[in-house]
Structure 1
């Protein structure tokens, strides 16, 4: 078997750098920890988007005191037990479903764990030839920690899932530190079990080019605007000037389709059939189509609805005034050298649905069922999500999965490029409920996006596009089942 194990001792590595979710990694530059991500606008290494709920209650201390695992308040003065001796020596093997490499892991996670546990060493495995999850299980390679997206089904399929509720109770660990959506969604996906803890959260926000607003005499965006207001503003900015077509609005359509209060169903979990041709999706299309069709029958709709192309139209071509993007502004503005006067506005809601918000993209840190060091793995994970570590990452622009109200004022305070920007707008006012993003969901969503693009291009009406999208999705689902 070709090994993709990265050895801490000798630096040997074989890995891939592919990223599949929008959450950031950090890398070292001139002694600073910075975020980097190749694929998503917020770096899945990307880490960004914390939703600080206004009703968070009092700030939890770094000592981990708080309610017990069953949600009851711990006795007055009770503190979380120390999982392991800080001086203990152990080597933990980390498997990342997100790819990456040893150096990236150590820069974004490992170094912070070693601050408390200096004698913890790590091996790192990423998916590759001979190192798929199935491969390492077949080879009986020991795994202690798994880094995963919310789609934990592949982990369940190979028997590496492990409920850590016993460790939470054993060490009186306070789950109420986390944003409720990050814990509730995990338990919803796993049937009530807790496989791990959330360590990163990213989501979406709006960026806008103030130069274009000034050019066309349109007032800047503000934090109280709804999607209805954004649509009207974008309409005023959509025009041809000097032979150049300017677009008032563009951005990742996935962010808009997934926007919700209660997660929309793309596929019926019982029948495993697509559910796209219904009144829910018709209402969604009816309210979203006007945002993307201000240039009638636009021949290249994917330029406006795709994350990467819409971002390029905003930051490079400067033909888009307002764009949806992953909330990794500090990373993007520096790496892409945004030479414009830009700012940030919160992800809005619709007037008719004020409780809707973008879904978070969460990176989970799981304890493997095969781990011989469950307590040590749990200790490593809880150290990474500790207040001290997360506070430092927040200063560098990351948005953690914690609901500590004190983080809002620290957000991106260590990023000079964001000085004077509306950085609090990187945090959505509310998160939507997360979908279970399995292969059937991904297949159905792809067909829904295809149908939406056809409507924008004037090729299909909404009803026809939805009906054909559902038929195509069911065909893809059948193909996936047959494999």
Structure 2
């Protein structure tokens, strides 16, 4: 990694501070030293050392490609801090986190979604408590969406290892062409899950040799961000909740059984890929950020969004927010500069820029939220759906949360396919989750 030097103006300032140049740089250029008389210059001052060049290396554990990073973050950061060299590395073959650690490659700021970030950093001792720097740089945590900050503090045991920079929640995408084809009214903001699953059954049909599917989703995302706020494990006892908390039965019934006419009739769960490629999925619960990530793909579909449906006994509550968090690492070379950049990334100015692009800001500021999608190629879409719901509370998370989500989602898929029932799936998932927790705890010893 090559560090770049500050602009020539910095060097000029340094030279201006030398004893020989004081006369030329002082007001009036009199050559006097203030209180002393003419010729009484006092002891000669040593030249000030030039400031050390600053390079900040961002590392994406999630493999976010460089053009995506630059569009959302890098270009704006470089414009704001032209004297800083902003470098970027993302996880791929040769730069996975274990490979980065083995090679001794320094990275100063890293990011991933809540629950993954800490799972990667803490076991490797790469976390850094930013609390003091946050206070020093006057970053007011009360400006942020509450559930994201609470989750960060909970995972860090009160310490703050990262700050949210943008958010993700689930919304309901729908294909207008399918609704038009079958003469069915479009979905609306504020629907219930029962209304949605009944609608899905009505639109799950074959026509002209095409199998249309009323509802699709990504099982992992829906499990991780579940609207019922079910914890995956009890952190106090390190035990899975899948076979103990009855809300899991309601979760599986609502999302993996009810949308189908006959459980197991559809062997695959349609998600974003068939929604944009085969165009045979009527509704899809998916990340709001898909709008900025799959811009070209979505141009091929006549689509829109509405707010994620809610449960009748908990109206107006959507999914959990899956915040994307940035944090300074323990191996960061210049933590002050890194915090300066993070403070900017969470400023009203930067967040407004994200919001205009259609990227969900993490601030509660209505002025920032109100411009969501204004500069998006899809600015005519129903962007207000993103903030229509109140976020579901984020339950306590553990460092093995991501593994449990994978397990629970796998068994949900089997329920959808008709390969097992809810009770059997819960028991089997519990046994697998226990083994995964034991494996994690043994590594931590």
**Offset, 1:141:** 5.0
- Structure 1 or 2, whichever has the larger Rg, is 2
**Offset, 1:313:** 2.6
State the secondary structure of the residue aligned to 2:72. helix
Query: Which has the larger helix fraction?
Result: 2
State the secondary structure of the residue aligned to 1:453. helix
State the secondary structure of the residue aligned to 1:361. coil
Q: Is the Cα–Cα contact under 8 Å of residues 97 and 149 in structure 1 kept in the other structure? A: no
CA distance in 2, matches of 1:475, 1:222: 43
Residue 351 (structure 1) aligned to one of 312, 318, 337:
312
Return closer, same or farther for 1:349/1:140 CA change in 2, 3 Å cut-off: same
Q: Does 1:427 align with 2:387?
A: yes
Residue 193 (structure 1) aligned to one of 152, 159, 179:
159
Return closer, same or farther for 1:102/1:210 CA change in 2, 3 Å cut-off: closer
CA distance in 1, matches of 2:182, 2:95: 54
Q: Does 1:280 align with 2:244?
A: no
CA distance in 2, matches of 1:138, 1:160: 13
Residue 254 (structure 1) aligns with: 220
Q: Is the Cα–Cα contact under 8 Å of residues 167 and 321 in structure 2 kept in the other structure? A: yes
Q: Is the Cα–Cα contact under 8 Å of residues 88 and 117 in structure 1 kept in the other structure? A: no
**Offset, 1:250:** 1.4
Question: Which has the higher mean CA deviation after the structures are superposed, 325-334 or 169-178?
Answer: 325-334
State the secondary structure of the residue aligned to 1:454. helix
TM-score, normalisation: structure 1 = 0.73
Residue 225 (structure 1) aligns with: 191
Residues 27-426 of structure 1: pairs in structure 2 closer than 5 A? 89-100=53-64, 105-127=69-91, 132-133=96-97, 142-150=106-114, 151=116, 152-260=118-226, 263-278=229-244, 279-300=246-267, 303-304=268-269, 309-331=270-292, 334-336=295-297, 338-354=299-315, 356-416=317-377, 418-426=378-386
Q: Is the Cα–Cα contact under 8 Å of residues 231 and 396 in structure 2 kept in the other structure? A: no
Q: Is the Cα–Cα contact under 8 Å of residues 65 and 90 in structure 2 kept in the other structure? A: yes
Q: Is the Cα–Cα contact under 8 Å of residues 185 and 433 in structure 1 kept in the other structure? A: no
Q: Is the Cα–Cα contact under 8 Å of residues 209 and 322 in structure 1 kept in the other structure? A: yes
Q: Is the Cα–Cα contact under 8 Å of residues 143 and 368 in structure 1 kept in the other structure? A: yes
TM-score, normalisation: structure 2 = 0.79
Q: Deviations over 1:250-301 (max 9, x none)?
A: 112234334556742223324433321122312322333443322443251x
CA distance in 2, matches of 1:476, 1:186: 23
Q: Is the Cα–Cα contact under 8 Å of residues 56 and 109 in structure 2 kept in the other structure? A: yes
Q: Does 1:474 align with 2:434?
A: yes
CA distance in 1, matches of 2:162, 2:365: 20
CA RMSD, 1 decimal: 3.0
CA distance in 1, matches of 2:111, 2:198: 42
Long gaps (5+) in structure 2: 6-50
Question: Which has the higher mean CA deviation after the structures are superposed, 138-147 or 201-210?
Answer: 138-147
Long gaps (5+) in structure 1: 11-86
**Offset, 1:211:** 1.7
Residue 406 (structure 2) aligned to one of 431, 446, 463:
446
CA distance in 2, matches of 1:265, 1:374: 34
State the secondary structure of the residue aligned to 1:400. coil
CA distance in 1, matches of 2:160, 2:399: 22
CA distance in 2, matches of 1:109, 1:440: 29
CA distance in 2, matches of 1:131, 1:334: 27
**Offset, 1:351:** 0.5
Q: Deviations over 1:421-446 (max 9, x none)?
A: 21211335122233566663333333
Residue 15 (structure 2) aligns with: none
Residue 68 (structure 1) aligns with: none
Return closer, same or farther for 1:194/1:228 CA change in 2, 3 Å cut-off: same
